């Protein structure tokens, strides 16, 4: 998309909304005000579903859900090095005006003036229906709730019209924080039920394309793969009314075009440019560039351990020794990431995650390991990646392909469209792939529960099964709940050591969230989901 096409399209959107947002020049105070109240975002890919509980909702879909729905509670913010972060350990009410946590339950009193975007009051019945939905629809949403021991509709009790109680199944320090993630959002139950069917009792088809929340923004236009337009909900009660009235989110696949739109001032924000561009833009000094490490996150190489050849631990270790780690850091990331490889041989395991492995690029060792595994002549396989984030994923796969070829592993690169990636990944059939995972709750046991637990963990996409690993994860969760530090430390160290020994996935690096913004844009906040929160942004 060139500048003329972009401006023409954005202008059409602005005219339909009654503003001059996309005009390159401002000729009146009214137009200046309209542009200052509109945020124009460009990115490589967009949502495939507006509902976080939808089947196969992709990562961009998280952004839509986060900004259009409220939850009972959310995080306070803190500041470090000039960047505002969510505070992992401090929570406040969003739809709840009061929260009382007991030994085996928590009670939430709702704000009595909160309404959904169609004017319907938010009630405790809506909260219960929404939480029931989350634990019942299956797939990722239900597993996310289970990660905080939120598993049964019976746990959610309507006390009165504006009071709801959440009963605990067990002591679990993740239960309350899990109510502040994206999944347990509160939905307009009556509106959705009117659009549900016998085959679709939770109205997933309706909410895929329509927002039905009480959040700060509502989607007024969505053209899949092209554009999402949000309008501010002026009666929002979840926090201070945002200064941005309208958000236009455009999908511009070409990184060069996204950069050009930023440099010309035709776009306000982009957050998935190649790292090389971020480095150059930061050096140029015309834009504000923010880089923040993913909390509890890793880019990794995953292998399906249930099928040959990756069912052989020596083959997996061979791949780990063949990865061109430093080339990836230099040629793909340009230093904008934290290495998760090359720890010294005498490094002691920490009670922390992520932490570096002791792997380095060693092709001779990799070849020897393949021979020991019975693959002296190598083998053929595929490397898959999410095309929605091709800027990073594709060069990683190309560099890995080159190194694997040197030890006899012939690979074909499989480019999976972003809208299909989550579905293909969670089938757990991809033999070799690269992906990024970042745990929403910043605790080691949470990451491992999602990615290594054998009890149908949805992001255990390697199909890794280990009773010893499950025991370490369960022990860490249980000891964290009762405050047994010694048992907790042993559990975390045990899970990390075993993950590095069995190597079902190879950590590459801790990515950074890189965001480029015009100088007149303020209010960026880093959240656990890594997506943009429109509510805090402002433009001068």
Note whether 208 and 222 are within 8 A (CB).
no
Q: What radius of gyration do the chain's Cα atoms show?
A: 24
Torsion, Cα of 429, 430, 435, 436 (10° steps): 10
For residue 459, give both structure tokens. 């992001």
Residue 336 and residue 281: Cα distance in Å, rounded? 13
pLDDT along the chain (540 residues), means of 10: 46 38 44 84 95 94 97 96 93 97 97 97 98 96 95 98 98 96 98 97 98 98 96 97 98 95 97 91 96 95 97 98 98 96 97 98 98 98 95 96 98 95 94 96 96 91 97 96 96 98 98 96 96 96
Note whether 237 and 93 are within 8 A (CB).
no
pLDDT at residue 82, rounded to an integer:
87
Q: What are phi and psi of 84, to 5 degrees?
A: -85, 130
Task: List, in order of start, the domains of the chain with CATH numbers.
Answer: 3-66+215-268+518-539 (3.40.190.10), 88-191 (3.90.76.10), 297-511 (3.10.105.10)
pLDDT at residue 25, rounded to an integer:
39
Note whether 266 and 24 are within 8 A (CB).
yes
Residue 195 and residue 29: Cα distance in Å, rounded? 43
Whose CA is closest to 125, among 179, 94, 165, 161? Answer: 161
Residue 32 and residue 55: Cα distance in Å, rounded? 41
pLDDT at residue 29, rounded to an integer:
58
Whose CA is closest to 197, among 187, 207, 188? Answer: 207
Q: How many CA atoms lie within 13 A of 233 on its CB side?
A: 26
Q: What is the pLDDT of residues 370-384, one digit of tens each?
A: 999 999 999 999 999
Strands 269-270 and 38-43: parallel
Whose CA is closest to 14, among 30, 2, 213, 288? Answer: 30
For residue 138, give both structure tokens. 């299956």
What are the DSSP E strand ranges found in 304-454? Answer: 337-339, 379-386, 409-416, 432-438
pLDDT at residue 31, rounded to an integer:
65
Residue 198 and residue 375: Cα distance in Å, rounded? 53
pLDDT at residue 534, rounded to an integer:
98
Whose CA is closest to 443, among 295, 299, 292? Answer: 295
For residue 85, give both structure tokens. 């972060």
Q: What is the pLDDT of residues 453-506, one digit of tens each?
A: 998 788 999 999 999 999 999 999 999 999 999 999 999 999 999 999 999 999
A 10 A CB-CB count for 245 gives: 20
pLDDT at residue 272, rounded to an integer:
81
420's enclosing H/E stretch is: helix 418-425
Note whether 107 and 100 are within 8 A (CB).
yes
Note whether 238 and 70 are within 8 A (CB).
yes
Note whether 50 and 211 are within 8 A (CB).
yes
Q: Given the structure tokens 């993913």, which residue do they identify?
A: 294
pLDDT at residue 19, rounded to an integer:
35
pLDDT at residue 35, rounded to an integer:
83
DSSP 254-297: -HHHHHHHHHTTS-SEE----HHHHHHHHHHTSSEEEEEEPTTE
pTM: 0.87
Residue 536 and residue 534: Cα distance in Å, rounded? 6
pLDDT at residue 24, rounded to an integer:
38
Note whether 310 and 373 are within 8 A (CB).
no
């Amino acid at each position: 998309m060139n500048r003329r096409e972009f401006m023409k399209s954005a202008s059409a959107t602005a005219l339909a909304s009654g503003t001059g947002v996309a005009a390159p020049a401002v000729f009146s105070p009214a137009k200046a005000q309209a542009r200052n109240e509109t945020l124009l975002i460009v990115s490589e890919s967009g949502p495939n579903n507006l509902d976080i509980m939808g089947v196969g909702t992709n990562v961009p879909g998280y952004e839509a859900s986060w900004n259009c729905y409220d939850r009972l509670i959310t995080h306070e913010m803190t500041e470090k090095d000039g960047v505002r972060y969510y505070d992992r350990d401090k929570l406040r009410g969003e739809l709840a005006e009061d929260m009382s946590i007991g030994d085996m339950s928590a009670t939430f009193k709702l704000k009595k003036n909160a309404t959904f975007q169609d004017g319907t009051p938010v009630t405790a019945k809506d909260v219960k229906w929404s939480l029931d939905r989350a634990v019942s629809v299956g797939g990722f949403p239900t597993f996310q709730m289970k990660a905080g021991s939120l598993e049964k509709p019976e746990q959610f009790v309507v006390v009165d019209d504006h009071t709801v109680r959440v009963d605990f199944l067990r002591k679990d320090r993740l239960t309350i924080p899990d109510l502040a993630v994206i999944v347990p959002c509160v939905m307009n139950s009556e509106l959705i039920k009117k659009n549900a069917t016998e085959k679709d009792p939770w109205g997933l088809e309706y909410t895929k394309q329509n927002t039905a929340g009480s959040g700060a923004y509502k989607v007024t236009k969505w053209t899949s793969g092209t554009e999402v337009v949000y309008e501010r909900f002026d009666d929002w009660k979840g926090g201070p009314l945002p200064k941005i009235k309208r958000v236009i989110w455009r999908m511009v696949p070409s990184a060069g075009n996204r950069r050009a739109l930023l440099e010309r001032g035709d776009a306000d924000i982009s957050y998935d440019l190649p790292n090389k561009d971020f480095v150059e833009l930061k050096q140029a000094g015309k834009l504000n560039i923010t880089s923040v490490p993913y909390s509890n996150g890793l880019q990794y190489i995953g292998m399906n351990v249930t099928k040959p050849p990756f069912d052989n631990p020596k083959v997996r270790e061979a791949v780990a020794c063949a990865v061109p780690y430093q080339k990836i850091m230099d040629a793909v990331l340009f230093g904008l990431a934290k290495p998760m490889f090359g720890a010294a041989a005498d490094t002691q395991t920490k009670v922390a995650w992520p932490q570096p492995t002791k792997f380095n690029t060693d092709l001779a060792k990799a070849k020897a390991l393949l021979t020991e595994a019975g693959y002296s002549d190598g083998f053929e396989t595929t490397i898959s990646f999410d095309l929605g984030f091709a800027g990073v994923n594709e060069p990683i796969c190309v560099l890995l392909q080159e190194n694997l070829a040197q030890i006899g592993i012939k690979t074909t690169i499989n480019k999976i469209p972003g809208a299909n990636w989550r579905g293909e990944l969670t089938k757990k059939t991809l033999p070799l792939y690269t992906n990024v995972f970042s745990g929403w709750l910043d605790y080691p046991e949470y990451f491992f529960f999602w990615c290594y637990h054998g009890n149908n963990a949805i992001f255990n996409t390697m199909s890794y099964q280990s009773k010893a690993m499950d025991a370490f994860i369960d022990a860490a969760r249980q000891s964290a709940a009762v405050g047994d530090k010694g048992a907790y430390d042993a559990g975390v160290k045990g899970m990390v050591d075993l993950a590095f020994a069995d190597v079902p996935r190879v950590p590459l690096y801790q990515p950074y969230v890189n965001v480029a913004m015009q100088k007149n844009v303020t209010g960026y906040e880093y959240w656990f989901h890594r997506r943009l929160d429109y509510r805090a942004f402002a433009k001068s």
